[in-house]
Structure 1
Amino acid sequence: MTRAVEVDLELRLLISDLLVQEAEYLDDRRFEDWLALFTEDVRYTAPIRVARKSPAPDIIDEIGHFDDTYQSLDLRVRRLRTDVAWAEDPPSHTRRLITNIRIRLTDVPDELDVRSNLLLFRSRGDRGQYDLIVGERQDRFRKVGDEWKISRRRAILDQSSLSTKNLGVFL
């Protein structure tokens, strides 16, 4: 549960800088550095959004674009370094913009709820075509030793139907 209590400026800047650093790692294809930002018990999901009439929910958590653990993220990262990652061969050119960062204390000591907006630009090849993926990331940060790490991520995409041919990139 999140408490509507503001965190101090120093912690706010630290978490914001971590999210910006994460985006840089992914855009620079530094996947091993990116993976080190997560706890080993992380759960990283992207549920499906559907278009329904109110009051039916428009997010279905039971199925998703992906539902990853640290082990499956590690496997995806290692696979990207091989010659069988066809969805990313040639590699995508990406730019992630992370905005509207909201940080709240939780009832659990040394854990924070962090929400941020994501705009992902992705281009492949030389035809001038590109994908835009937009959504909100709902993260749980946990202090592990002296470091803050992501222990949960839920990426809620704004599109009900993704126009990209694959999701071979991380959100």
Structure 2
Amino acid sequence: MSQRATQKPDHELHYECVSFYNHEAELLDTKELEQWLELMTEDIRYDMPLRVTRDRGSDRSEFSDEGFNYREDWSTLDARIERFQSEFAWSEDPPTRTRHFVTNVRVKDVDGDELSVKNNLLLFLAQGEEADGTTISAERHDVLRRVDGELKLAERDIRLDHTVLPMKNISVFF
């Protein structure tokens, strides 16, 4: 097969992934959380391990295997969404305004119906009348799975660039 023939499907796949992430960001930014949850597989694993500062040269990961800001599955994501939309989500009154900027989408591996994809996230948050917002950056390690011809999120590992979250609570999704 020619070089051109092997590159074209990669470009199409990359475009499909970018389109998926653009749609996901729009759903999150417009607070359409039930529709966002529909982008997940039923066996979703949605994790944000704690970042741990290590000495240079350490062979240990900068991310904890035991401590997490998030460690979610379908049922816990669904429960959080239900709570955020209830009158008891005091941390979300007034609601947080978000803008998800997803960049540097890289398809790392294709294994049957599953794609390993890395992407960078810059998340801007503002709430109420505060003059300054909060900016959070991360790299996300995702597994996208094709289900009935559509891409769905099967795994997300959110690797923050921060060791301490610059926010009072985690009432948004990454």
TM-score tier by shorter-chain length is over 0.9
d(CA) in 2 for partners of 1:110, 1:57: 29
Could you tell me which runs of 5 or more consecutive residues in structure 2 were left unpaired when the two chains were aligned.
1-5
Q: CA deviation at 1:14?
A: 1.0
Q: Deviations over 1:97-143 (max 9, x none)?
A: 0000001333x311100110000000111021311110001000111
1:1-171 aligned at under 5 Å gives the runs 8-54=10-56, 55=58, 56-106=60-110, 108-171=111-174
Structure 1 counterpart of 2:67, one-letter code: I
Runs of 4+ more than 4 Å apart: none
SS at 1:8 equivalent: helix
d(CA) in 1 for partners of 2:154, 2:132: 34
Could you tell me which runs of 5 or more consecutive residues in structure 1 were left unpaired when the two chains were aligned.
none
Partner of 2:3: none
d(CA) in 2 for partners of 1:102, 1:120: 19
d(CA) in 1 for partners of 2:144, 2:15: 14
d(CA) in 1 for partners of 2:157, 2:24: 15
| Count of paired positions | 166
Q: CA deviation at 1:15?
A: 1.1
Larger helix share, 1 or 2: 2
Structure 2 counterpart of 1:170, one-letter code: F
Q: Over aligned residues, Cα RMSD in angstroms? A: 1.4
d(CA) in 2 for partners of 1:166, 1:155: 16
- After TM superposition, the score normalised by the length of structure 1 is 0.92
d(CA) in 2 for partners of 1:102, 1:28: 25
Structure 2 counterpart of 1:8, one-letter code: D
- After TM superposition, the score normalised by the length of structure 2 is 0.91
